[in-house]
Amino acid sequence: MKNLVKKTWFQMVAGGVIIGVILIGLDSKFNFFNRNKKPDKYNGAIEVNSNETYFTKMELSEARFDFGKVKEGDTVMHEFKIKNTGDEPLLIYKAVGSCDCIVALFTTKPVMPGAEESIKVYFKTTGRKGEQFRTVNVHTNTDPAENMLTLTGTVE
């Protein structure tokens, strides 16, 4: 009975692997899973139909800032510059810090094509000694919808 269970288990795993390889091979030929199709829903900070919203492009002057060494209790602030490089207004829906010690302030007005705006990120260092790696996820009407800003440094 023990050998039968081991054989059956092995046959099921081997069969699954064979079926998986066949599906991958057929998908590359017939594109069953529609990899290149634009999704009907945009799942950013808000959910809308893709054909009913405007997407744009943006550039960050920098996505990472090293604040060096600071004393515990100080508040570090850095401005990340963003530029709308697309053809539609850029909307910043929200900016979420990786912990309660980091806050991002941004404009709620649309950033017009070609215009620049800044996101001010504040990091409160109280109780945060040692090497630091903090992030802010910025949700916009771009594809992808999330862009990450990073602060690193050391709190002494």
By the 8 A CB rule, do 46 and 59 touch?
Answer: no
Structure tokens at 77: 């602030």
Give per-residue pLDDT as tens, 43-58. Answer: 555 565 656 667 899 9
* One-letter identity of residue 128: R
71-116 residue pLDDT tens: 999 999 999 999 999 998 999 989 999 999 999 999 889 999 999 9
The H or E element that residue 13 is part of is helix 2-30
Q: What's the predicted TM-score (pTM) here?
A: 0.66
pLDDT at 145: 84
Calculate what percentage of the chain has a pLDDT beyond 90.
54
27, 21 Cβ separation under 8 angstroms: no
What is the widest separation between alpha-carbon atoms in the chain?
A: 73
* Confidence label for 3 from pLDDT (cuts 50, 70 and 90): low
Res 46: pLDDT: 57
Residue 2 Cα distances to 14, 16, 35, 70, 78, angstroms: 18, 21, 43, 64, 65
Q: Is the pLDDT of residue 18 over 60?
A: yes
pLDDT, residue 49, reads: 62
Using only C-alpha atoms, what is the Rg of the chain?
A: 24
Report pLDDT for 36.
56
Structure tokens at 104: 């991002």
